[in-house]
């Protein structure tokens, strides 16, 4: 029985430390249960975790970097470094690159997604982080602006609460961590459904993902998305969209989008990116 218990314990540990990409809708609980941040900590190796924090999206990178550093220190991470990139040349910093080679998790904070991409897109540092995350060698998390940059295309800004229209959104290139998705954050909290639909009308080949605050869409290497947290993850699937007028109307005119599929997922729900279907729990 002792050997069986050891095998079961080892299997549980592997499951807990299996790497993932965590896309967080912003305003995640940093005080009480810290469920989402704790999940990232565990997926980065728990007490063996070596975590790099990238606060580059923030206008106050020192303050925000130290805040997350303190959180992960309290959880018991083995080592934490703030990769405080404030200039594109620092994306070639040997010290930062060496740390990325040995770390087990990277956390991108909130702020301005255009600032984050402007500083890090196509730098050796971010290319290596992307590569290691896609290979499943490290866990990668991004909250708010850090979530917006995950796709190949990115919602850089725009309004909310109106009917879908092209003028509602500003699009830019993201970091391409999960190229097939198009993410919006603070989703229901800031009434951003029309904004996501406007983005999807131009990019129906992408999977639209709207993530509420204190909520996370966690992507495993096997193409399964799992929801963690207090809110919902909204999935807009336009792969079978039969019509949109977005190429024929003015930028401020309302858009029509026919035959979309919509899924609302909450804590514990799972979705297969390969099958474009929610999975039975």
Q: Which residue out of 58, 139, 144, 201 is catalytically annotated?
A: 144
| 143 Cα distance to chain centroid | 6
Contacts of 147 (CB under 8 A, 6+ apart): 23, 24, 25, 26, 183, 185, 211
Side-chain half-sphere exposure of 197, counting CA atoms within 13 A: 23
Quick check: 175 and 130 in contact, CB under 8 A? yes
Q: How far apart are CA 124 and CA 110, in angstroms?
A: 22
Q: Which residue out of 35, 66, 127, 162 is catalytically annotated?
A: 162
- Does the annotation count 162 as an active-site position? yes
Opening angle at CA 170, ends 168 and 171, nearest 5: 130
The candidate with the shortest Cα–Cα distance to 231, out of 21, 43, 26, 37, is 26
- Does the annotation count 35 as an active-site position? no
Q: Which residue out of 44, 186, 201, 213 is catalytically annotated?
A: 186
- Does the annotation count 152 as an active-site position? no
Q: Which residues are catalytic?
A: 144, 162, 186
């Amino acid at each position: 029985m002792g050997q069986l218990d050891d095998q079961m314990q080892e299997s549980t540990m592997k499951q807990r430390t299996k790497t993932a990409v965590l896309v967080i809708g912003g305003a995640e609980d940093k005080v009480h249960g810290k469920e989402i941040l704790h999940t990232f900590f565990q997926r980065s190796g728990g007490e063996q975790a070596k975590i790099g924090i990238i606060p580059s999206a923030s206008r106050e990178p020192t303050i925000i970097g130290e805040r997350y550093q303190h959180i992960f220190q309290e959880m018991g991470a083995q080592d934490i470094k703030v990769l405080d990139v404030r200039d594109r040349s620092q994306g070639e910093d040997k010290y930062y690159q060496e740390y990325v080679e040995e770390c087990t998790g990277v956390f991108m904070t909130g702020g301005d997604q255009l600032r984050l991409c402007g500083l890090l897109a196509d730098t050796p540092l971010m290319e290596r982080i992307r590569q290691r995350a896609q290979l499943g060698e490290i866990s990668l998390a991004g909250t708010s602006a850090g979530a917006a940059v995950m796709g190949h295309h990115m919602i850089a800004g725009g309004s909310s609460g109106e009917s879908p229209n092209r003028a509602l959104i500003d699009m830019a290139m993201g970091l391409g961590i999960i190229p097939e998705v198009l993410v919006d954050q603070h989703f229901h909290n800031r009434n951003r459904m029309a904004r996501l639909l406007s983005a999807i009308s131009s990019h129906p080949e992408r999977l639209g993902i709207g993530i509420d605050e204190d909520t996370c869409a966690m992507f495993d290497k096997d193409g399964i998305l799992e929801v963690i947290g207090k809110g919902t993850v909204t999935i807009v699937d336009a792969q079978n969209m039969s019509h949109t007028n977005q190429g024929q109307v003015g930028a401020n005119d309302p858009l029509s989008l026919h035959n979309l599929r919509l899924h609302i997922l909450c804590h514990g729900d799972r979705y297969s990116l390969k099958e474009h279907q929610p999975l039975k729990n």
